[in-house]
Amino acid sequence: MTPTFSSADVRRRLQARQEIALIDLREEGPYSQGHPLWAANMPLSRLELEARRRIPRLDTLIVIYGEYEGVDLVPLAAQRLAALGYTGVHVLEGGLGGWRAAGGELFRDVNVPSKAFGEWVEHQRHTPSLSAHEVQALIDGHADPVVLDARRYDEYQNMSIPTAISVPGAELVLRVRELAPDPRTQVIVNCAGRTRSLIGTQSLVNAGIPNPVAALRNGTIGWKLAGLALDHGASRRAPAPSKANLAIAQAQARAVAGKAGVRTIAFEKLSSLAAPGRTVYRFDVRSPDEYEAGHLAGFASAPGGQLVQETDHHAPVRGARLVLADDEGVRAPMTASWLAQMGWEVHVLEPMPSLTGQEPGAPLTPGVAAPAAAELSVTTLSQWLQETPATVAVIDVSTSASYAARHIPGAWFAIRAQLAQALDRIPPATRYVVTGDSNALAAFAAQDLRGLLVDRRSDGQAWLLAGGNAAWWAAGLPAQSQEQRHATPPVDRYRRPYEGTAAPTQAMQDYLDWEFGLVAQLERDGTHCFNVLAA
């Protein structure tokens, strides 16, 4: 019997900043419709693939909850976590309903701690901002403002403000002086909505750059709602800083981090942080390209701006210790300054080691080996589909977005955790073939499917497509994107209103209105522990 943990006890630990991983087992869609502030989303479908990476300490206090369409996800999740070796698993007493009944606040959307923090920063510091029309007037009036896009480069390329330059959030203090050497130049920071533009703008203010700085109010959403045109496919990037500007940025970043209470630690002292009962996350906050060229062993890639934006994803154990590394002494301390203000214990690795020649490529992801499965070649599957299609059911457990873009003709989309419901919709077959973009996830799904077929006394057999969808495409076999057969609703991902330009106008306005209301929610909730630097 898995022990329970009350809502009151969860709140007490959060307020005391004691370690706890509050885990929502639902898919991202239903999770986004309401959850506690510090609940991290770790869907039951992907538990074996994500748990060991995101919750590295096996005796971590883990509190789980989740129900979808009347199905309680907790018992199976507790069983799987125990099989992975976790010893501190508890069930949230009364689940999400119990949290609500106890007066707990529910927050919509994703990455809510970071987004709420951005609103809290603006509320406390009155971060300067300009409207879309004011920025457009500066551009049209040949005032030559410098517009810096603080999002990931791929987001910037998808859509951007005219003239904007890609400078992901943690890079702003490092590179701004190369782009705006004249202190009279107006600097404008934007993102898609509000959070990264607010944090980026306030980063430059905190660092004391001499230029006037302002956030683009409401980001690309605000630009589009104002009826202004966005660019697509832009490729402008900031140059490397000069030695003189780097020295200035280093000094200012150290000063900001020190004021925020960030600690420094030498590389040889890192092991001292791994005390009993303490989780330690190690992050390299440089760009993904720099990381892949060489990084310290044991450090995961988490570009600084995204780490602040998606803290709940990278570090679901609230109360854990964070260690940040870079190799120039600006990005790590600036990122750390924000995480410290969010209530984390943060250390910056100093002196900065040279990362040239260190471990290349992506780090190994802790996890469990995919289960053995009866594999089927793409050649055999293609033959079956041509000769006896009525006997075959192909089940694709890729993301719904990937499935919509391209899938094997006739394949059914299904979420792994909802395979039982999927079988109720898929016409009975004698050959079930599981595929997907992730071979590991498909292997786990095939294992689940075999168990379900046995339980239902079905004559069907479950197979795993060897190599998955990638092998099918590599063989030059046909693909389909028009007909979509959803055996389960595509709720694995929440459609963000700030992605792309296709979101309805009302959805974008509703999203902004939601962000405006976060400060009041934080005040009612009382578990945030945010402490914003004074001016």
CB atoms within 10 A of CB 377: 14
Alpha-carbon distance 318 to 443, whole Å?
A: 31
* pTM assigned to the model: 0.96
* Burial 54-63, CB ≥16 within 10 A → b, else e: bbbbeebbbb
**Quick one: 496 exposed, middle or buried, by C-beta within 10 A (0-12, 13-18, 19+)?**
middle
> Do 205 and 301 belong together in one domain?
no
For 184, the 3-state DSSP assignment is coil
Q: How much is the CA Rg of the chain, to the nearest whole Å?
A: 24
502's torsion region: left (phi>0), alpha (psi -120 to 50) or beta?
A: alpha
Alpha-carbon distance 487 to 396, whole Å?
A: 10
pLDDT in tens, 387-396: 999 999 999 9
pLDDT score at 357 = 58
Q: Which residues, 6+ apart, have CB-to-CB distance to 512 below 8 Å?
A: 193, 194, 218, 221, 222
pLDDT in tens, 1-49: 899 999 999 999 999 999 999 999 999 999 999 999 999 999 999 999 9
Confirm whether 161 is domain-assigned. Answer: yes
> Do 179 and 196 belong together in one domain?
yes
For 176, the 3-state DSSP assignment is helix
| Mean pLDDT of the 202-211 span | 98
Confirm whether 11 is domain-assigned. Answer: yes
Tokens, residue 415: 């979420």
pLDDT score at 354 = 74
Confirm whether 330 is domain-assigned. Answer: yes
> Do 280 and 188 belong together in one domain?
no
Cα-Cα end-to-end distance for the chain: 52
> Do 254 and 231 belong together in one domain?
no
Q: Kindly report the backbone phi and psi dihedral angles of residue 216, in degrees, each rounded to the nearest multiple of 5, phi listed first.
A: -75, 115
Confirm whether 509 is domain-assigned. Answer: no
| Mean pLDDT of the 138-155 span | 95
Alpha-carbon distance 318 to 376, whole Å?
A: 43
> Do 123 and 236 belong together in one domain?
yes
Confirm whether 18 is domain-assigned. Answer: yes
Confirm whether 103 is domain-assigned. Answer: yes
pLDDT in tens, 326-335: 999 999 999 9
| Mean pLDDT of the 444-450 span | 97
Statement: residue 365 has pLDDT above 80: no
> Do 220 and 254 belong together in one domain?
no
pLDDT in tens, 88-123: 999 999 999 999 999 999 999 999 999 999 999 999
> Do 263 and 291 belong together in one domain?
yes
Q: At what angle do helices 331-341 and 172-179 cross, to 10 degrees?
A: 130
Across the chain, what does the average pLDDT equal?
95
Question: What is the domain-level CATH number for residue 303?
Answer: 3.40.250.10
Alpha-carbon distance 250 to 218, whole Å?
A: 30
Length reported for the chain = 535
pLDDT score at 285 = 97
In this structure, are strands 321-325 and 280-284 parallel, antiparallel, or unpaired? parallel
Identify the domain boundary among 109, 127, 148.
Answer: 109
Identify the domain boundary among 90, 109, 128.
Answer: 109
Alpha-carbon distance 298 to 281, whole Å?
A: 9
pLDDT grade for 364, boundaries at 50, 70 and 90: low
Q: Which residues, 6+ apart, have CB-to-CB distance to 388 below 8 Å?
A: none
Confirm whether 498 is domain-assigned. Answer: no
> Do 404 and 469 belong together in one domain?
yes
Alpha-carbon distance 32 to 24, whole Å?
A: 10
> Do 133 and 158 belong together in one domain?
yes
pLDDT score at 502 = 73
Identify the domain boundary among 486, 505, 526.
Answer: 486
pLDDT score at 319 = 98
Q: 498, 192 in Cβ contact below 8 A? A: yes
For 309, the 3-state DSSP assignment is helix
Confirm whether 514 is domain-assigned. Answer: no
Q: How many domains does the chain have?
A: 4
| Locus of tokens 């071979």 | 439
> Do 331 and 385 belong together in one domain?
no
Statement: residue 366 has pLDDT above 70: no
> Do 403 and 433 belong together in one domain?
yes
Helix spans in 310-438 (H): 311-314, 331-341, 378-387, 400-405, 419-425
> Do 230 and 124 belong together in one domain?
yes
pLDDT in tens, 484-529: 899 999 999 998 888 776 778 898 999 999 999 999 999 999 999 9
**Listed residue (84, 92, 80, 96) closest to 3, CA to CA:** 92
% of the chain exceeding 90 in pLDDT: 91
For 183, the 3-state DSSP assignment is coil
pLDDT in tens, 233-272: 999 999 999 999 999 999 999 999 999 999 999 988 999 9
pLDDT grade for 299, boundaries at 50, 70 and 90: very high
% of the chain exceeding 70 in pLDDT: 97
pLDDT score at 501 = 67
287's torsion region: left (phi>0), alpha (psi -120 to 50) or beta?
A: beta
pLDDT score at 390 = 95
In this structure, are strands 263-265 and 345-349 parallel, antiparallel, or unpaired? parallel
Does residue 427 have a cis bond before it (omega within 30 degrees)?
A: no
Q: 62, 31 in Cβ contact below 8 A? A: no
Statement: residue 294 has pLDDT above 70: yes
**Domain carrying residue 396:** 375-486
